[in-house]
């Protein structure tokens, strides 16, 4: 009797630490954020003092004032995701099927950038793409860019920075799903009159789709909310929504607008991701 009772309770006990953690560090802040997003400044109060007035039009103002940055965030994130996919897929494919004994070594190389801080790596890119780096003079000398063109403080630099920074998040899930494919299914496809390209289209790609979905989500979601790349590699003209939220919070101390923007961003990402997963047809992922 007591044995059966404890058997029922054990799973809940195991869940408890995780639940407490999530409650304290996710649920409570979210609720707090939701409250803040409908507050208005206290009349006659100091900067940064707000009261709850359920002022939902904060959302309308926040969105209409920052439409451009929203749009830019999603365009940049999309570009970075597509680029990362284009780079990571062949890489993951090679590691999974062609690397042989080098497999583990190459996987270590993929995650090696994590040993250096995200911020430092992005600053390093600023130097690489800067006037003193070797990239700009080389490109100028072979005539790919004109003498007056710079690479830093451009949209290009921001997208490249994000592509670079999120590449491991794309590569690892792709590798995991490619590695799970039984190579004999590819042999079977060749045996059944499919050439290399058809085998890729009809067998390898569909079987790696869970990895593609996971990788693109792990890249797109943080990229859409990122502000470090735009801050370091971009200019005021390449501001993303993350930069706006950051400055509203820490510079202008406009908490309600920052909160409303955060919620709008979250909602937009959720909607996009849901549509995407439906289209990709891999419901088992979520």
Partner 1 sequence: MADVSSATHGDLRLTRITKSYGDFTAVNDLSLTIPEGSFFALLGPSGCGKTTTLRMIAGLEEPTVGSIHLGTTDITTKRPYQRPINTVFQNYALFPHLTIFENIAFGLRRRGLKDVTADVNKVLELVELPHLAQRKPTQLSGGQQQRIALARAIVNRPALLLLDEPLGALDLKLRRQMQIELKWIQREVGLTFVHVTHDQEEAMTMADTIAVMNEGEIEQMGSPADLYDNPGTAFVANFLGQSNLIKGRIEGTDGDNLVVDLFGQKISMPKNRSHAVDSSIYAGIRPEKFRISLLGTPTRGNVLTGGRIEDVSYIGVSTQYQVTMPWGQEVMVFEQNDDGVPPFDKGDEVVISWEPIFTFALRGDDDVEAGLEVNPEDPDEE
Q: Which of 145, 167, 213, 272 is nearest to 137 (CA)?
A: 145
| DSSP, residue by residue, 109-145 | HHHGGGGS-HHHHHHHHHHHHSTTSSHHHHHHHTTSS
Q: Confirm if 169 and 86 have CB atoms less than 8 A apart.
A: no
Among 206, 237, 252, 275, indicate the residue that binds partner 1 (CB under 8 A): 206
Using the minimum distance from each CB to partner 1, give the nearer residue, 20 or 188. 188
* Inter-residue contact 228 to 119 (CB < 8 Å): yes
Of 67, 137, 190, 267, the one binding partner 1 (CB under 8 A) is 190
- Position among 207, 266, 272, 273 found at the interface with partner 1 (CB under 8 A): 207
Residue 285 is a binding residue for partner 1 (CB under 8 A):
no
d(CA 36, CA 58): 10
Q: Which of 101, 184, 251, 279 binds partner 1 (CB under 8 A)?
A: 184
Beta bridge partners of 40: 51
Taking CB under 8 A as the rule, does residue 201 contact partner 1?
Answer: no
Shortest reach from residue 183's CB to partner 1, in Å:
9
C-alpha distances in Å from residue 98, one per residue of 73, 91, 101, 184, 268: 36, 10, 9, 15, 39
Name the one range near partner 1 by CB under 8 A: 27-35, 123-131, 191-199, 241-249: 191-199
| Candidates 3-11, 72-80, 187-195, 237-245; binding stretch for partner 1 (CB under 8 A) | 187-195
202 binding partner 1? (CB under 8 A) = yes
Chain contacts with partner 1 (rule: CB under 8 A):
182, 184-185, 187-195, 198, 202-203, 206-207
């Amino acid at each position: 009797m007591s044995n059966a009772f404890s058997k029922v309770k054990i799973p809940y006990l195991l869940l408890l630490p995780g639940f407490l953690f999530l409650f304290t560090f996710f649920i409570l802040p979210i609720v707090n954020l939701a409250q803040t997003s409908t507050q208005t400044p206290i009349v006659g109060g100091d900067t940064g003092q707000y009261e709850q007035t359920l002022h939902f039009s904060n959302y309308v103002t926040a969105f209409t004032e920052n439409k451009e940055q929203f749009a830019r965030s999603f365009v940049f994130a999309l570009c970075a995701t597509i680029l990362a996919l284009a780079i990571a897929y062949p890489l993951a494919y090679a590691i999974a099927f062609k690397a042989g004994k080098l497999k583990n070594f190459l996987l270590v190389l993929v995650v090696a950038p994590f040993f250096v801080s995200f911020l430092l790596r992005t600053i390093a890119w600023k130097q690489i793409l800067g006037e003193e780096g070797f990239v700009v003079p080389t490109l100028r000398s072979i005539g790919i860019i004109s003498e007056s063109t710079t690479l830093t403080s451009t949209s290009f630099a921001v997208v490249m920075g994000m592509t670079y920074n999120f590449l491991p998040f794309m590569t690892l899930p792709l590798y995991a799903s490619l590695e799970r494919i039984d190579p004999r299914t590819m042999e079977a496809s060749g045996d059944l009159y499919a050439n290399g390209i058809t085998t890729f289209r009809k067998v390898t790609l569909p079987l790696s789709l869970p990895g593609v979905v996971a990788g693109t989500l792990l890249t797109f979601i943080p990229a859409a909310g990122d502000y470090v790349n735009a801050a370091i590699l971009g200019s005021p003209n390449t501001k993303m929504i993350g930069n706006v939220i950051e400055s509203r919070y820490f510079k202008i101390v406009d908490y309600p607008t920052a909160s409303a923007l955060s919620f709008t961003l979250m909602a937009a990402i959720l909607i996009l991701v849901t549509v995407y997963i439906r289209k990709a047809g891999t419901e088992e992922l979520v």
